Amino acid sequence: MKHILIMEDNALLAHDWGAMFELNGHKVTLTHNGTDAVTHLKKTKFDLVITDIFVPNEKGGLHVVGEILRMRRGAPPIIAVTGIKRFKDDAETTNFFLRQVEQLGVSSTIEKPFAAADLLVKAQEFWDIP
């Protein structure tokens, strides 16, 4: 069993993603902003963090990513997600914001919309389980 922190401001998505992990035997902690996510990270060890990059009116995923990358030793893998694109991005271009967080050092990225099962597949790549 792995412990996953999910930071997503859309409550329906967060619960959908969390339920998918729980149905597969994992423990999930949900939060809807970066401030709460960082508080959880300081108190608890997680095996994976899934974070939305942008959260309206709150500290979002960039804040969470920065805190995790400062941890270095013992830092969990990070899957960063977003559906926000720059107006310059087109169908042929990888999402600018996802490219930026990849350069910062996140483990993986996914552009919304996607199926919840896609997160499980990515997580399993980190955990070396079938």
Q: Domain of 116: which CATH number? A: 3.40.50.2300
Q: How many domains does the chain have?
A: 1
The domain containing residue 77 runs over which residues? 3-123
> Could you tell me the two tokens for 114?
């996607």
What is the number of other CB atoms lying within 10 angstroms of the CB of residue 22?
14
Range list of H helices, 1-130 = 11-23, 34-43, 61-71, 96-104, 116-127
Of the candidates 45, 38, 42, 126, the one whose C-alpha atom is nearest the C-alpha of residue 78 is 126
In the chain, what percentage of residues exceed pLDDT 70? 88
Distance CA 34, CA 57 (A): 11
Q: Is residue 57 over pLDDT 80?
A: no
Q: Does the residue 129 lie in any domain? A: no
Give the Cα-Cα-Cα angle 23, 26, 30 (nearest 5 degrees): 95
| pLDDT tens track for 98-116 | 778 888 888 998 988 889 9
Q: Does the residue 93 lie in any domain? A: yes
- pLDDT classification of 63: cutoffs 50, 70, 90: confident
Task: Give pTM, 2 decimals.
Answer: 0.87
Q: Does the residue 128 lie in any domain? A: no
